Amino acid sequence: MNDVVVGLLSSAIGFAISPISLIELILVVFSRRARVNGAVFLFTLAVPLFAIPLLGATVVKSVASGSQTQGMNPWLQVTFGVLLLMMAVVNLRNYRSTDAPKVFETIQGMGPGAVFALALSVTLFNPKNLALLISAGNTMREASMSTGAIILACALFTVVAMAPFLAVVGYQLLGGEAAEKRLIVMKEALLRNNHKIMFWVTGVLGIVFVARALPVLLG
């Protein structure tokens, strides 16, 4: 059970530390339709966060129950670990870059539909985050957890992974006039240090994934 907790927490924290996605949300909560767009962003983020690990732990478990799946988990962990380490190398090469993605310029005028697509890209089209979600589901599947335990674990995983995003929206709603200035400062700091943060996040997670798999593969 300790391995399950560590695996889920590492994946959730890895997802939560996503500077570009947090910057996108900060821009969203100060867009023309801030409240609607903020709600759309959070809801669209929450659904895949809950559903992908759930499907990975339940549907895949049912399909795999009658087949030989021994060794799948360590090889999957190694694959994700190598992917994350490759991303760390890319971020190391751009360590001092502060270039902003072009999408930032368009967020101010986005409507709910565009924000929906933007938030969906955070999970489905972000290699780091998608790998972490699949890994979370695989961790629960390998632990042979009950359906109720899986649902509870997915809910807690979603809350932890969304914690910084919920904090941004909550602060914008409750922080008064000072919130905008402080969130803008936060946005600039995240952009300035994006590649530095992502180098360490992807590098550490990559090493953890590979280290967890190697004893099984070499045993």
Write phi, then psi, for 67 (nearest 5 degrees): -125, 170
Residue written as tokens 């947090």?
A: 22
Contact 166, 42 (CB under 8 A): yes
Q: What is the DSSP letter of 206?
A: H
pLDDT average, residue stretch 184-200: 94
Task: Work out the number of other CB atoms within 10 angstroms of the CB of residue 24.
Answer: 24
Q: What is the pTM of this model?
A: 0.86
Distance, CA of 123 to CA of 127 (rounded, Å): 8
Each residue's pLDDT tens digit, 88-132: 999 999 998 888 888 898 998 999 999 999 999 999 999 999 999
Evaluate if residue 59 carries a pLDDT over 80.
Answer: no
- Residue matched to tokens 């600039």: 188
- The pLDDT of residue 17 is above 70: yes
Q: Is 4 exposed, middle or buried (0-12, 13-18, 19+ CB in 10 A)?
A: middle
Q: What is the pLDDT of residue 218?
A: 85
Each residue's pLDDT tens digit, 138-191: 889 888 888 899 999 999 999 999 999 999 999 998 888 889 899 999 999 999
Q: Any idea where the domains of the chain sit in the sequence?
A: 2-63+71-218
